[in-house]
Amino acid sequence: MIFKSKRYPDVEIPNVGVYQYVTSNPNKISDDKVIFIDGITDEKVTFGELKRDSKRFAAGLQDKIGFKRHDVLGIFSPNQINYPVVVFGTLAAGGSVTTVNPKNTAGEFASQLIDSGASVIIVHLEYLDTAIKAAKEARIPKSRIFLFGNRAVHGFQPHSSFIGDREAEPVSYSPNEAKTTTAFLCYSSGTTGKQKGVEITHTNAVANMAQISSSGYFSIRNPFFHIYGLVFVINLVTFSGASAVVLPGFNLTTFCQCVHKYKVNFVYAVPPIILALVRSPSVESMSSVEFIFSGAAPLSENLSKDFYNIYKIPIRQGYERENCSSGVLLPNLEVKLLSEDGSGNRYDEPGELCVRGPNIVKGYLNNKEATNAAIDSDGFFHTGDIAVIDRQVAPAELESILLTHPAVGDVAVIPYFSEKELTEYPTACVVLKNEHEKTLRMSKEIQNFVNDKVAPHKKLRGGVLFLDSIPKSDSGKILRRILKDQLKKATSRSRKPLPPKKNRPDSRDWIEKWIVGFTDGAGSFDVKSVGSRLILSFEITQSAQNLRILHYIRREIGCVLPIFNQYPLLTSKYYDYIKFKKALEMLNDSSANTSTIFEVLKDSPGDVDTISSAWNMTTYPFKSTDDVKLVMSRPWLVGFVEAKASFFLKVDSCPEGDRYKHAFHVSQKGNKIVLEGVRSILHIATKILYHEKENIYEITTTNSRAIDNISRFFNYTFKGMKSLEFRIWARSINYKSNLNKLAKSARILTKIQSKFSYNNPF
């Protein structure tokens, strides 16, 4: 089944070049309208100057270095105000632009230059040395390296030397040429292998602008700030006539000063910026901001709420995240969900998300195999993400059914947002004819009355709320906003208060303990000799499909030593860390050499069975769970389980048919005390098994009481792909009487564990 947007109708996508579309000026932008502002120097570029200098830059490329159609220009620079002129000038000359991360090494830069076929480089002065080395490896002569700015340095000419008096006639494209000609070559991060060049055609980029413009998502207002990825932003800003404040990097003070000075109303940011604003609130400087778009990495629900509580500014997520809504489809986009056997799924059935539309990229440059793997013969891009498409519920339909119940006098249906399922459920606000019937029994009766008559997605899963009256306007229109506030107050009264900040998953204390637990499960400290050199390494390994967790750890870990000094490891890795730390201290001593260090380290304790000294805080065997908690914290256990454990459905075949049992499994090499602690905290009665040959201890439980304890303990705690596995597993606990749903959940869990290399002992 193929899905299209119900909110946005398709729009006409002009098959023209990016430059023609951006400068077509349907919004009647005046030539003196400021489009880009340098947040450091206050230099400004107007719409008229941008068009003029882009055409002059194109003419300079053509006249001075013979730049021609389909040639590729590489940009090696952080964000700056001259970036747009170079981009639009290159496109106007008929070329393609490949943008390079300025943090890349010379080797990485050279690989991109070679793969993209770039023949000319524009570089920021700060990165000139790297560009020279990369150009040499890519066999690009120094005469084709140019600097951003207005002055020559060491014989390298500035990009402004291209800008003379002649204005080139921008290259035009036929509809077919626009669809097939690459405008931008943006390279993947290379986290799953070699970096790949993503070919974005002129039509791809134009379609993206048309889709977003028509959705009302982007408006011509005050300046907005953007700290990353100018290629997308410069197109839309110029086309719409908005203004962008450009900074080369993030500094909290400079950021806040620019937002305040230029009265910014729309901010593009990344989660670390949001976190910095929460840790150092500057409410007054952000008073002009009406909306923030967060992208590039996941933004936690708690951080988003903390930010909103301080600034009262809404944030929209632009990064895919498990267990949440990805929003609605834009115009001209089609989606299908594929099941395991490749067949198309329908509503409410999870499947791989595949997307087709005019903005979907052409493919990977010089990599037909990767292109064919990502884009199928029907033009659908396979994201590799699991998604579910639900359906809209019309309140009037449910209200008409509810009014036929003999006890209902008045009613209104509103959505209730479930934090557990991260979706909206229909909820009935009911005024009874007889107020004395406000009982739980009547609530269930009304709920079942509706549920028996409607499709599954329309059922009153949000329940029934009894009210004395339904708020309405003078014209009789139901005031649903007031009802939503009443529902929110009613549900908040039944919620437990938030735990203290230090015990919450978004607190620094929790995060650092979680990192230690994850390291005990999947990390290592190592000291080894390579020739005369001593190599110290700290590693955490995960499946390539679970890179999200590694990105999270890299972002949060900061300096390693303070974390592991404050929160000791609980497995024998504690002694690996002690050796690591001792070696580091000795390396800082100029009198120590490699052989001396290894001689000292030989006497350090710590084989796989050695118990961490952290356990000296309690007695073993444990007298109570409280004894264990003196050493093993909840965040440590969450991190350890995320790294080591698995949640699955055990299948028992019998004459009456398959029976499914929910199971939890965790293992540990050596260190039985660790699993005894896990067993105690999670209230698992099952005994620990020992495999002598491998020296591995393990616990597997299918006990229903233990399973219930485990499902509650780990709710809303996991950060990587384990959260998807746990969510499917925990949700399936409610399917005990539905064998079909249990079988489907078991298949999905098996697929996840196979894909992400999780262990399933059954």
The position carrying tokens 């067993």 is: 679
Residues 321 and 341 in one domain: no
Q: What is the pLDDT of residue 222?
A: 44
Residues 378 and 400 in one domain: no
Please provide the size of the chain in residues. Answer: 762
Q: What is the pLDDT of residue 184?
A: 94
The position carrying tokens 């600034």 is: 311
Angle at 483 between CA 477 and CA 486, to 5 degrees: 155
Residue 146: is its pLDDT beyond 50? yes
Q: Is residue 761 part of a domain?
A: no
Share of the chain above pLDDT 90, in %: 40
Task: Grade residue 192 by pLDDT with cuts at 50, 70 and 90.
Answer: low
CATH code for the domain of 355: 2.30.38.10
Total Cβ atoms within 10 A of residue 627: 17
User: Among 617, 649, 675, where does a domain finish?
Assistant: 617
CB 422 within 8 A of CB 490: no
Residues 444 and 589 in one domain: no
Q: Is residue 12 part of a domain?
A: no
Instruction: State the helix-helix crossing angle for 440-451 and 395-402, rounded to 10 degrees.
Output: 120
Rounded CA separation 611/573 (Å): 9
User: Among 444, 468, 493, where does a domain finish?
Assistant: 493
CB 74 within 8 A of CB 118: yes
Residue 757: is its pLDDT beyond 60? no
Residues 511 and 450 in one domain: no
Task: Grade residue 498 by pLDDT with cuts at 50, 70 and 90.
Answer: very low
Mean pLDDT comparison of 297-301, 532-536, 637-641, 733-737, highest-scoring range: 637-641
Residues 181 and 97 in one domain: yes
Q: Which residues pair with 599 in a beta bridge?
A: none
From residue 1, alpha-carbon distances to 163, 390, 745 in Å are 53, 13, 21
Rounded CA separation 415/395 (Å): 9
Q: Is residue 675 part of a domain?
A: yes
Nearest to 403 by CA among 384, 377, 430: 430
Q: What is the pLDDT of residue 419?
A: 56
Phi-psi category of residue 543: left, alpha or beta, with phi > 0 → left and psi -120 to 50 → alpha:
beta
Phi-psi category of residue 112: left, alpha or beta, with phi > 0 → left and psi -120 to 50 → alpha:
alpha
Q: Is residue 245 part of a domain?
A: no
Residues 451 and 305 in one domain: no
The DSSP line for 38-100 is ETTT--EEEHHHHHHHHHHHHHHHHHHH---TT-EEEEE--S-TTHHHHHHHHHHTT-EEEEE
Nearest to 56 by CA among 173, 143, 158, 169: 169
Sign for the CA dihedral angle at 316, 721, 727, 753 comes to positive
Q: What is the pLDDT of residue 224?
A: 46
Task: Grade residue 216 by pLDDT with cuts at 50, 70 and 90.
Answer: low
Residues 64 and 38 in one domain: yes
Residues 116 and 216 in one domain: yes
Nearest to 568 by CA among 605, 526, 611: 611
Q: Please state, rounded to an integer, the average pLDDT across all residues of the chain.
A: 84
| Distinct helix (H) and strand (E) counts, the chain | 26, 27
Q: Determine the distance from the C-alpha atom of residue 27 to the mean position of all C-alpha atoms in its chain, rounded to a whole number.
A: 33
Nearest to 664 by CA among 681, 656, 655: 681
From residue 710, alpha-carbon distances to 144, 687, 718, 723, 733 in Å are 63, 16, 13, 14, 12
From residue 651, alpha-carbon distances to 212, 623, 757 in Å are 48, 35, 20
User: Among 387, 404, 429, where does a domain finish?
Assistant: 387
The DSSP line for 523-583 is EEEEEEEETTEEEEEEEE---GGGHHHHHHHHHHH-SHHHHHHHS--SSTHHHHHHHHHHH
What is this structure's pTM? 0.56
Share of the chain above pLDDT 70, in %: 86
Residue type, 81: I
Sign for the CA dihedral angle at 115, 121, 122, 125 comes to positive
CATH code for the domain of 606: 3.10.28.10
Q: Which residues pair with 73 in a beta bridge?
A: 97, 120
Nearest to 84 by CA among 239, 208, 273: 239
The terminus-to-terminus CA distance of the chain in angstroms comes to 34
What is the pLDDT averaged over residues 693-720?
A: 90
Residues 378 and 399 in one domain: no
Q: Is residue 91 part of a domain?
A: yes
Q: What is the pLDDT of residue 228?
A: 43
**Structural tokens at position 26:** 């349907």
Q: Is residue 716 part of a domain?
A: yes
Pick 219 or 507 by higher pLDDT.
507
Domain that holds residue 608: 501-617
Condensed to tens digits (0 to 9), the pLDDT of residues 646-693 reads 998 888 777 766 788 999 999 998 889 999 999 999 999 999 999 998
Residue type, 141: P
Condensed to tens digits (0 to 9), the pLDDT of residues 320-367 reads 434 344 567 888 989 888 886 666 666 667 788 899 999 999 999 999
**Structural tokens at position 40:** 């450091």
Residue 534: is its pLDDT beyond 80? no
Residue 541: is its pLDDT beyond 60? yes
Number of domains forming the structure of the chain: 6
Long-range contacts of 179-182 (CB under 8 A, 24+ apart): 179/15, 179/203, 180/362, 181/17, 181/70, 181/96, 182/96, 182/362, 182/365
Residues 82 and 120 in one domain: yes
Residue 137: is its pLDDT beyond 90? yes
Q: Is residue 314 part of a domain?
A: yes
What is the pLDDT averaged over residues 132-155?
A: 94
Residues 159 and 265 in one domain: no
Radius of gyration (C-alpha) of the chain in whole angstroms: 30
Task: Grade residue 493 by pLDDT with cuts at 50, 70 and 90.
Answer: low
Q: Is residue 692 part of a domain?
A: yes
Q: Determine the distance from the C-alpha atom of residue 94 to the mean position of all C-alpha atoms in its chain, rounded to a whole number.
A: 34
Instruction: Name the DSSP class of 478.
Output: B
CATH code for the domain of 141: 3.40.50.12780
Residues 587 and 613 in one domain: yes
Residue 113, C-beta contacts closer than 8 angstroms, at least 6 positions apart = 74, 100, 121, 134, 135, 137, 138, 140
Condensed to tens digits (0 to 9), the pLDDT of residues 395-444 reads 888 998 999 999 999 999 998 876 555 567 899 999 998 877 888 889 99
CB 514 within 8 A of CB 502: no
